[in-house]
């Protein structure tokens, strides 16, 4: 039993050799600096994508949290906030 401040459940990602289906990223303590960065082995050159995400958190209040961010080296493309 883990008392977690939050975790991210990863669903399957296309074009990954092992896949991330069923994987969980656990952040056991509160932090302003904890993050996860997934970097593909090959460039994606996306024109569109679908994000399916389930997030559970024990963080209370109205604190703004970025649940998902998609960025390129040049531009902050998309942020999805709680």
Can you give the pLDDT of all 82 residues of the chain as single tens digits? Answer: 344 444 444 443 444 455 666 777 777 777 778 877 777 777 777 777 777 777 777 767 777 777 777 777 777 677 777 6
Strands 54-57 and 23-27: unpaired
Hey, how many other C-beta atoms are within 10 angstroms of the C-beta on 6? 19
- What pLDDT does 76 receive? 67
- What pLDDT does 18 receive? 59
- What pLDDT does 2 receive? 40
Boundaries of domain holding 3 = 1-82
Quote the number of domains for the chain: 1
- What pLDDT does 12 receive? 38
| Residue partners of 75: CB distance under 8 A and separation at least 6 | none
Q: What's this model's pTM, rounded to 2 decimal places?
A: 0.42
């Amino acid at each position: 039993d883990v008392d977690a401040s939050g975790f991210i459940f990863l669903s399957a990602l296309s074009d990954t050799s092992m896949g991330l289906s069923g994987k969980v990223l656990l952040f056991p303590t509160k932090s302003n600096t904890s993050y996860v960065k997934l970097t593909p082995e090959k460039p994606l050159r996306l024109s569109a994508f679908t994000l399916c995400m389930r997030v559970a958190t024990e963080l209370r209040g109205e604190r703004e949290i970025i649940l998902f961010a998609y960025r390129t080296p040049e531009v902050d493309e998309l942020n999805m906030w709680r």
